[in-house]
Structure 1
C-alpha cells in the first residue's frame, strides 16, 4: 500500500529582508573579522551591544579594510577577489553597503594596489562631506586611491612615498605619517586632484617608535610610542600645530613595573567625554608591544591625567568607543568575542562570546 504525504504552502522566508533602523542606533557596532584561517573571505559582523544581539553580517574579500560614511548610510569595504577563489585574475572593488539592508548599494573597480595587510584605521577613510573615499595602497610603494562617491568613479592616485595610511582632515585634506618623522598634509580640490602638499617635522624616528594607529577628536590626531609617549597634532588650521607631548605612565611604581601600551588598535577616544582609553600591559618587552591585554587605562585629554582603570575578563586586542554622550567602550577579545564597558559608570557590562573568529577592528557611527 502506498503511503501518501501532505503538503502545505508556507509563507515566504523573510531572512535577509528585515531592515535595520535609520538613523543607526548610536551604539551599533561593526566588527571587522579578517578570518585568519581563510583570509580570502572575511566578514563584517553587525551587532547591538546594548541588547548583546547580532544584527547581521556582510561578506568581504580578503582582509578588506572598512569604514563608515559620515552620514551613517553606507559601510565601505575595499574588497579583493581572485577569479579562481585563491588564485587567478585579481579584481579590487570599493563596495558601498547600505547600513539598513546590509546589501550592496553600489561598487566601483579600483586599481589592484590596495594594501593586503591586517585591517586598521585609516587604511580607508572618507572626507568630512562624504564626497571622497581614500584607500591606502602598498605595492610596496605607498599611495592613496581617491574615489568620488558621488560619481562613483576613481578620480586619482596620490603618491605618498615613505609615508603610510591616510587620516582624513576636513572636507579636502588628508594626512599621512612619514618614516622621516614628519606629518605630510595633502590638499585636494573639489575634483579630488592634489593642489598642495607639505611636510611638518613631528617626531624623531631615530629616538622613538611611533605607532601609526592614531585616534582622533575632530582634526586633532593622537599617536603613542611603543613605550607610552603621547604625541598629538592639530590639523584644523592652515598649518599643522604640534601639541606638547605627555606620558601615559605617570607613577614611579608603574614605571618600575614596566607598564606600556600594547595591542592592535590599542587606543580609543570618547569625544563627548574628552577621554582617551589605552590598552596597557606591565613587564613591557620591546618586540611584544602588539600583544593583547585585559587592562585599559583611561585619561582626561584636557589634563592628561590618568583617571581610571578598566579590566576585561579576557585579553582585548582592539578598542573602539562610541561617539554619543552615553558612550560604550567596545573591545575585541582574543576568543572572537566583544567586551562591553559603560563609560559613564566605568563598569564592564558584559561579553558577546565568540561572535567572530579573528576580529581586528571595531567601527561605530
Structure 2
C-alpha cells in the first residue's frame, strides 16, 4: 500500500509539471497546405473516368505508374473529355455543367489545370454542344505546336470547336457531317483529319485565324459494312494506325491535304482466325514508337457484339516484320497505353475488377505490378 501511494504521488507531480510546461509553451501555427506532386515521369497516368454511377461528377484520376500509387484527382464534370497540352504543362478538360446539377441551364467550358499541382488555373467558355460521350483519345486534341485545341461536338450533328489556346478564345466551329474523332497532323500544325462513316477520311486545313480554308476527302480505305475499324488510333508523327473488328491493321498518313494509306495487314494466322481470336476493348491499341511495337487486346470465341470484350490476352507485334513477338495474359484490359523511353511499361485497365496492371514492355511482356480499386467506369488513359 505504501509503495502504491508513493507511485501515485510521483505520477501526480509529473502531471502538474507537464501541464505547467504546456501552459507556458507557444504552440506552432499550423497552416493547411496541399502536398506537391513529384515531377512527372513517363509513367504518370491520367485516367479518364466518365463515372457512369455519378455522371455529373466525372473524374480524371492521376496515378503514379512507377510505384502504382494514387496521386490525385481532377474534377471532370458531366462527360468531361481531358487532354494534356503539347508541352505537358497543362491539362484541358472539355466538360458540361448544369445550373441544377443534372438539369437547368447548360454551360460548356474547357477547364484549364496545372499538370504539376492539378489546381484549376482558368477556363474557356465554349458553345454548349460539346459531345457528351465516352472519352476516346480523339474527342479532344491539341495541335502539334500547342496553339489549337480541337473539341468534338455532337447535337447529334458532328462538328468541331476550334480554340486558340494563346488567346484563350473560341475561333470557329467546323461541320464534320458523318465523321467522328479528331486526328491532328504532326508536321502541319493547322491540319487535322477525321474518320467518316463511308470508310473515307476527311482532312481539314485551317488558316491563322482558325477558320477552315480547305477540306479534302480521301479514297475509301476500309469497308464499314464488312470490317469496320475501331475509332481509337495510335500516332507516330503524321502516321496513325487503327485495328479493325476482324483483326487487320490499317495505316494512314495525314501530313498532306489528302490522307493516304498503306495496305492493310492481319494480326491473325488462319488458325487463330478460325478459333475466333479478335481485338476487343475501347482503347485497345497501344504503340511504342521507339521500338516499333504495337500492343493489342485480344479475345477468343469472338461473335457479333464482342468487339468491346475485355482482353483475354495482350499480343505484341513488330511493325517492320508485321509478326507477333510477345503474348501475355490480358488482365481483362479494356484500355491500353505504353510509356515512352527505353524502359517502356504497358499499362492495362482491368474493366472487370477496376484495377490498373503494369507490364514490363522492354522485351517479352511481363506483369510487374497491379493497383486495385481505381475508378468507376474509365475507358481511356493518357501518359505523361
- TM-score class, shorter: over 0.9
User: Does 2:72 align with 1:73?
Assistant: no
User: How much has 1:27 moved relative to structure 2?
Assistant: 1.3
TM-score, reference length from structure 2: 0.89
Within 2, Cα distance between the matches of 1:213 and 1:60?
21
Q: Indicate the residue corresponding to 2:284 in structure 1.
A: 266
- Is residue 33–residue 356 contact of structure 1 (8 Å, CA) maintained in 2? yes
Aligned counterpart in structure 2 of residue 148 of structure 1, from 164, 168, 191: 164
Contact 1:20 1:101 in 2 (8 A): no
SS of residue in 2 equivalent to 1:64: strand
What per-residue deviation string (whole Å, max 9, x for no partner) do you get for residues 255-301 of structure 1?
A: 22110000111111111111111100000112121111241110111
**Per-residue deviation at 1:19?**
4.2
Instruction: Count residues with an aligned counterpart.
Output: 357
The answer to whether structure 1 residue 128 and structure 2 residue 144 are counterparts is yes
1:291 to 306, 309, 313: 309
Q: How far off its partner does 1:237 sit?
A: 3.6
For residues 1-365 of structure 1, the aligned pairs below 5 Å read: 8-9=27-28, 11-14=30-33, 16-21=34-39, 24-170=40-186, 171-201=189-219, 202-250=221-269, 252-312=270-330, 314-334=331-351, 335-345=353-363, 346-365=365-384
Point out the structure with the larger helix share. 2
The unaligned stretches of length 5 or more in structure 2 are: 1-18
Q: Is the 8 A contact 2:333 2:350 kept in 1?
A: yes
Query: Partners in 2 of 1:222 and 1:261 — Cα distance?
Result: 14
**C-alpha separation between the residues in 2 aligned to 1:130 and 1:348?**
35
2:247 and 2:268 in contact (8 A); partners too: yes
CA distance in 1, matches of 2:292, 2:32: 46
- Deviation (angstroms), 1:330: 0.8
3-state SS of 1:279 partner: strand
Residue aligned with 2:79, SS? coil
What is the RMSD computed on CA atoms of the aligned residues? Answer: 1.7
Of 206-215 and 96-105, more deviation after overlay is shown by 206-215
Q: Secondary structure at the match of 2:137?
A: coil
The offset of 1:181, in angstroms, is: 1.3
> What's the CA shift for 1:17?
4.5
Displacement of 1:8: 5.0
> Where does the alignment leave 5 or more consecutive residues of structure 1 unmatched?
none
Aligned equivalents of 1:259, 1:182: Cα separation in 2: 27
